[in-house]
Amino acid sequence: ELKVEQNPLFLSMQEGKNYTIYCNYSTTSDRLYWYRQDPGKSLESLFVLLSNGAVKQEGRLMASLDTKARLSTLHITAAVHDLSATYFCAVISNSGYALNFGKGTSLLVTP
Partner 1 sequence: GAVVSQHPSRVICKSGTSVKIECRSLDFQATTMFWYRQFPKQSLMLMATSNEGSKATYEQGVEKDKFLINHASLTLSTLTVTSAHPEDSSFYICSATNWAGGYNEQFFGPGTRLTVL
Which of the stretches 12-20, 37-45, 54-62, 65-73 binds partner 1 when contact is defined by CB under 8 A?
A: 37-45
Answer yes or no whether residue 98 interacts with partner 1 by CB under 8 A: yes
Taking contact as CB under 8 A, which single stretch among the options 27-35, 52-60, 63-71, 72-80 is the one that binds partner 1? 27-35
34 near partner 1 (CB under 8 A): no
The 10 Å Cβ neighbour count of residue 75 is 15
Could you say whether residue 56 binds partner 1 (CB under 8 A)? no
Per CB under 8 A, 103 contacts partner 1:
yes
Establish how many alpha carbons lie within 13 A of residue 2's alpha carbon, considering only the half-sphere containing its beta carbon: 23
Q: Is 102 in the site for partner 1 (CB under 8 A)?
A: yes
- Per-residue b or e along 81-108, where b marks 16 or more CB atoms closer than 10 Å to that residue's CB: eebbbbbbbbbbbeeeeebbebebbbbe
